[in-house]
Amino acid sequence: MANEHPTPPHVSRNEWTVTLPSLGWLLIFVISPTLIILAQSFRPPDLTGAIGSGWTLQNWETWLRQDVQHLALHTLWLSAVTTGFCMMLAIPFGWFMARTSSRGKQVLQLLVIIPFWTNFLIRIFAWKTLLNQDGLMTRAAAFMGLIPAHESLLYNEGAVLLVLIYTQLPFAILPIYAAAEKFDFSLLDAARDLGASHLRSFLEVFLPGIKMGIAAGALMVFVPALGSFLIPEMMGGHDSEMLGSRISQRAFADRNLPEASALASGLVIGVLSATLFIGGGMAWWRQFKRRQA
Amino acid sequence: MNIRTHLAVTCSALILCSCEEKQESVLNTEPPTLHVYMWADYVKPELVKQFEHENHCRVVIDTFDSNEAMFAKLKAGATGFDVALPSSYMVKVMKEQEMISQINRSMIPNLVQITSDVANRVHDKMMTHSVPYAVSHTVIAYRKDRLEKVDPTWSALLREDVKGRTTLLNDMRETLGSALKSLGHSINSRDEQHLQQARDVVIQWKKNSAKFDNEGYKTGIDSGEFSLVMGYSGDLFQVVEENDKVGIMVPKEGVTMSCDEFVILREGQNPFLAHQFINFLLDPKIAAENMQWMGYLCPNKGALELVARTFLDHPAIRLPDELKEKVEVIEDLGPDLAKFTKVWDEVKAAR
Amino acid sequence: MKRSGFFTRSVILTVLVFFHLPLMVLVINSFNASRFGGTWEGFTTHWYSDLFRNREVMEAFKRSLVIALWSTPAATLLGTLAAVALHRFHSRLQKVHFLLVQLPLVLPEVLMGFSMLLFFVAMGINLGLTTIWIAHVTFCLSFVTMVMLGRLQDFDFTLLDAARDLGATRWQATTRILLPLLWPGILASALLAFTVSLDDFVITFFVSGPGTTTLPVQIYSMMKTSRSLPIINALSSLLLFGTVITVASIHWLTRPARKL
């Protein structure tokens, strides 16, 4: 996007020709479905699993129920913790990656991308193997005396978090690395010369310098995590249901599409506000910088 | 640069060609296909192959893990299935919704094989729209190597030594039904007080268990991940056949019974093959072979004479006589289903 | 250049072990005679031969390949066009366009899947291969656009202007200069789209119809039946091998262009 070609006024028909295919596709298959769930959420449910006629607010009342609110808060909490852990690992990783030799960079990039590209279910399966009652991790934990032997580490919130972090971490590393690549590391030396400590120059020079990468990474981790439903289903127990699980339960088991729509619409609103919040922060920062310059 | 361009063009050309080839084969040379929608591990694969061979067709099987999920998928526009295998109570709903067509009895001569004791208990007694395929019960399996003396009662789910190592079916009717049974009520009770009692029982079970699960418990009890699970009798029978460390127990308070029945979907493409398929699986010899593989009892007169006595005497296959009285079939409750849904939501929300 | 401290190094090591240990255990277990992989019970290739004999897996794999082969060209075409538009023009329209392109990357899959399901229901479109194809093209498109945008940044558009100045038509300039130079990027993004399509479970799960069990859906149901557990290890190892090859070739295709 950021490039300096001026746009001559006479190409506007060309612009439409190249823009319309993808724009139209996305409008039809992403935007209109989203509007449809919003519309269906005001339809009454039909006992037989179809969507009734007429309009109602009753599906939205599900959000007033305590267990749904609890579920929403819990989902927010799990996503936030996942984001926090991913950031704690991704920032040092991005820092190291940006400072290492170009060969090292290539190797590290490959090593990050391979798990990212491995089939999602296989990654979950791999963790199930490690955490079940005879798994490597379980044995290690039992060996260290952390848990009794043959105690499964599966079906709890910790297992859900672990796999959430595992699947989302590459989404945090890649943008942070991209930002760190562009960071001018001589600024750190300058700060050090001016008497700042290691930690202080890291916190006050490096972190603000890669702010955009951090924001993009946080967005890529947090927002998709909000909708997880497979990981809680496979790794979690009773305490780890998330909003996504409830949506699929309402859609597939309870045959209540309107209520599933109301839940999904709520999630859309949550996703949009998270995106606007982080994206707006990024835009504000950009403008702030420009004004400073 | 030139060589690479060339390579790229060749690659994409190859990709495009293979697309076209695939498309052609899908459109022209395919034999007729029968689409079946059923539970996982519910028919012996070799028998399906035999049917394909005899009828020069292809059988594509998709699986579901609950009646409700199957119904939701069909309602959502998954047309093109020819045969489905809902439980009896769901057959009623599907019939009312006009989703299934009438059985052409003349095309299924093996219909005479269906035993009357089962036919009399299902919703569609005259078999106008559905044909009973197999009977299942919700029972308990446990690890013999880990648990000493497991009494045949639902309260085994509350044992201290299985805490966090049990699973419950993620199926409203089955799990609440079992709880109702454990209290001595009918599984089809519409009495709100009964339902509240059942809810409290399930919440107790839940507190002692690891998760709600409809399929994964098979792997779990087999590998020892779980010590005691609630599950469908045939699925558990399959595990017991392969793993002698696992045993099956039928709670003495009584269990639910469901009969899964073949229905022919109105929107199916191939009603002829659908009838052929049902008739094939009702053939006594085939049914005998099939039921010993899958571990569910087929209500088939001829087949019951052909299977081994030891197979039939297994409690997971045919319930002991003293329990037969206490078995109930899950029925459709119409609008009263909402009472179950409400209580089930409360179970799910409890912590 | 300063050497990194102990803390950073231990984080790097932790992350790398965290990433790769589970995958390595899978590969090792695929040769383990034990049915549940808890202990080593001897070397076997039994699971691999079981895998190749398993008809459902092979059919699901073929189906997934067909879907990916059909989605990739469409997604690559749409995505490349989108990238060109985003790169060349900077109107308000493109701002909206860019937002829309990013949406499928960020939107939780469960929302994409569910909303598409309701969309197809509302439009009266029967669920099946077509609906899966539409869904796959949609999310692959965004991946393609993002890769192509990166590639276009390295592209020197003055070359096109120069060609036009020398009398080439727009068509000639596009086919003779733009496309040949962009081929590696296009191929790389096509490979990415292919992999993403092959990998998708959640969205496919929502919009699939009769007879459309894809490989991930098959893996999902196999994870639940004990007879198949070790087969998943074998299958995973093969897929992992495929992933490594694909990643390496994309890496090779998109490495910074050397001076001619």
pLDDT digits (tens, 9 = 90+) for B234-245: 989 989 988 899
Give me the residues of A, 49-88, that contact C with CB < 8 A.
51
Domain boundaries, chain A: 45-292
**Rounded-to-integer distance, Cα B34 and Cα B273, Å:** 7
Q: With 90 as the cut, is the pLDDT of residue A86 above it? A: yes
Give this complex's ipTM: 0.89
Residues of chain C neighbouring B73 (CB-CB closer than 8 A):
127
Chain C residues with CB-CB distance to B under 8 A?
35-36, 38, 55, 66, 69-70, 72-73, 117, 120-121, 124-128, 180, 183-184, 186-187, 190, 208-213, 221, 223-227, 229, 260
On average, the pLDDT of chain C sits at 88
Mean per-residue pLDDT for A23-43? 95
- Over residues A269-288, the pLDDT tens digits come to 988 888 888 878 878 877 88
User: Taking CB atoms and an 8 Å cut-off, how many pairs form between chains B and C?
Assistant: 95
Residue type, B127: M
Residues of chain A neighbouring B351 (CB-CB closer than 8 A):
238-239
Neighbours of B80 (CB within 10 A): 22
Q: With 70 as the cut, is the pLDDT of residue A110 above it? A: yes
| CA nearest to C260 within chain B | B1
pLDDT value of position A285: 78
Selecting from A108, A109, A224 the residue whose C-beta is nearest the C-beta of C108 gives: A224
- Over residues B103-150, the pLDDT tens digits come to 999 999 999 999 988 888 888 888 999 999 999 999 999 999 999 888
Cβ–Cβ of B345/A67 closer than 8 Å? Answer: yes
Residues of chain C neighbouring A286 (CB-CB closer than 8 A):
none
Residues of chain C neighbouring B224 (CB-CB closer than 8 A):
36
| CA nearest to B224 within chain C | C36
pLDDT value of position A60: 93
pLDDT value of position B29: 58
pLDDT value of position A255: 78
Confidence of residue C226 (pLDDT cuts 50, 70, 90): low
Q: What are the C-alpha distances in Å from A206 to residues A88, A180, A186, A199?
A: 14, 8, 11, 10
pLDDT value of position C260: 40
Mean per-residue pLDDT for C203-226? 87
Is the CB of residue B348 less than 8 Å from the CB of residue A241?
A: yes
Residue type, B70: M
Q: With 70 as the cut, is the pLDDT of residue C256 above it? A: no
B188 φ, ψ to 5°?
A: -105, 20
Which domains, and CATH codes, for chain C? Answer: 54-253 (1.10.3720.10)
Q: With 50 as the cut, is the pLDDT of residue B21 above it? A: no
Secondary structure string (H, E, C) spanning chain A:
CCCCCCCCHHHHHHHHHHHHHHHHHHHHHHHHHHHHHHHHCCCCECCCCCECCCCCCCCHHHHHCHHHHHHHHHHHHHHHHHHHHHHHHHHHHHHHHHHCCHHHHHHHHHHHHHHHHCCHHHHHHHHHHHHCCCCHHHHHHHHCCCCCCCCCCCCCHHHHHHHHHHHHHHHHHHHHHHHHHHCCCHHHHHHHHCCCCHHHHHHHHHHHHCHHHHHHHHHHHHHHHHCCCHHHHHHCCHHHCCHHHHHHHHHHHCCCHHHHHHHHHHHHHHHHHHHHHHHHHHHHHHHHHHHHC
Q: With 60 as the cut, is the pLDDT of residue C259 above it? A: no
Q: With 50 as the cut, is the pLDDT of residue B26 above it? A: no
Confidence of residue A202 (pLDDT cuts 50, 70, 90): confident
DSSP C178: I
pLDDT value of position C4: 61
Chains that touch B (3 or more CB pairs under 8 A): A, C
Query: Nearest Cα to C202, choosing from A245, A173, A32, A256?
Result: A245
Cβ–Cβ of B351/A238 closer than 8 Å? Answer: yes
B36 vs chain A: nearest CA distance in angstroms? 19
Chains that touch C (3 or more CB pairs under 8 A): A, B
Token readout for A73 is 């808060």
Is the CB of residue C236 less than 8 Å from the CB of residue A119?
A: yes
Largest CA distance in chain B: 83
Cβ–Cβ of B206/A238 closer than 8 Å? Answer: yes
Residues of chain A neighbouring B345 (CB-CB closer than 8 A):
67
Give me the residues of B, 21-40, that contact C with CB < 8 A.
22, 33, 35, 37, 40
pLDDT value of position A81: 97
Residue type, A130: L
**Rounded-to-integer distance, Cα C191 and Cα C182, Å:** 14
Mean per-residue pLDDT for B84-100? 92
Is the CB of residue B157 less than 8 Å from the CB of residue B260?
A: no
pLDDT value of position B18: 41
- Over residues B5-19, the pLDDT tens digits come to 444 444 444 444 344
Residues of chain B neighbouring C55 (CB-CB closer than 8 A):
45
- The CATH number assigned to the domain with range A45-292 reads 1.10.3720.10
- Over residues A166-194, the pLDDT tens digits come to 999 999 998 999 899 889 888 888 988 88
Q: With 80 as the cut, is the pLDDT of residue C85 above it? A: yes
Which domains, and CATH codes, for chain B? Answer: 30-135+258-313 (3.40.190.10), 137-256+322-349 (3.40.190.10)
For residue A141, count CB atoms less than 10 angstroms from its CB and return exposed for 0-12, middle for 13-18, buried for 19 or more: middle
Selecting from C124, C127, C225 the residue whose C-beta is nearest the C-beta of B78 gives: C127
C152 compared with A32, residue with greater pLDDT:
A32
Cβ–Cβ of C69/B81 closer than 8 Å? Answer: no
Collect all residues with Cβ–Cβ distance below 8 Å to C39 and sequence separation of at least 6.
A134
**Rounded-to-integer distance, Cα C142 and Cα C80, Å:** 10
pLDDT value of position A240: 84
Mean per-residue pLDDT for A259-273? 92
Give me the residues of C, 236-255, that contact A with CB < 8 A.
236, 239-240, 243-244, 246-248, 251
- Over residues A122-181, the pLDDT tens digits come to 999 999 989 988 888 888 888 888 888 777 788 889 999 999 999 999 999 989 998 998
> What radius of gyration do chain B's Cα atoms show?
23
Residues of chain C neighbouring A11 (CB-CB closer than 8 A):
88-89
pLDDT value of position A135: 84
B113 compared with B1, residue with greater pLDDT:
B113
Confidence of residue B86 (pLDDT cuts 50, 70, 90): very high
pLDDT value of position B13: 42
Q: With 60 as the cut, is the pLDDT of residue C73 above it? A: yes
- Over residues B168-203, the pLDDT tens digits come to 998 889 999 999 999 999 999 999 999 999 999 999
A10 compared with B218, residue with greater pLDDT:
B218
∠ CA C94-C97-C102 to the nearest 5 degrees?
125
| CA nearest to A113 within chain C | C247
| CA nearest to C132 within chain A | A29
Query: Nearest Cα to B108, choosing from B278, B263, B262, B299?
Result: B278
On average, the pLDDT of chain B sits at 87
Q: With 60 as the cut, is the pLDDT of residue B3 above it? A: no
∠ CA B290-B325-B150 to the nearest 5 degrees?
75
Question: A186 at the C interface (CB within 8 A)?
Answer: no
Give me the residues of C, 75-114, that contact A with CB < 8 A.
77-79, 81-82, 84-91, 93-94, 96-98, 100-101, 103-112, 114
Cβ–Cβ of C104/A111 closer than 8 Å? Answer: no
Q: Which candidate in B36, B62, B64 is best for mutational testing of the C interface (most C CBs within 10 A)? A: B62
Q: With 50 as the cut, is the pLDDT of residue B28 above it? A: no
Taken as a whole, chain B contains a residue count of 351
Identify the helix (H) or strand (E) that includes residue C70: helix C55-88
Question: B164 at the A interface (CB within 8 A)?
Answer: yes
Query: Nearest Cα to B227, choosing from B314, B152, B164?
Result: B164
B35 φ, ψ to 5°?
A: -100, 120
Question: B97 at the C interface (CB within 8 A)?
Answer: no
Low-confidence winner among A149-153, B224-228, C93-97 (lowest mean pLDDT): A149-153
**Rounded-to-integer distance, Cα A259 and Cα A255, Å:** 9
Cβ–Cβ of A132/B212 closer than 8 Å? Answer: no
How many Cα neighbours within 13 Å face the side chain of A186?
Answer: 0
- Over residues A49-67, the pLDDT tens digits come to 678 888 999 999 989 988 8
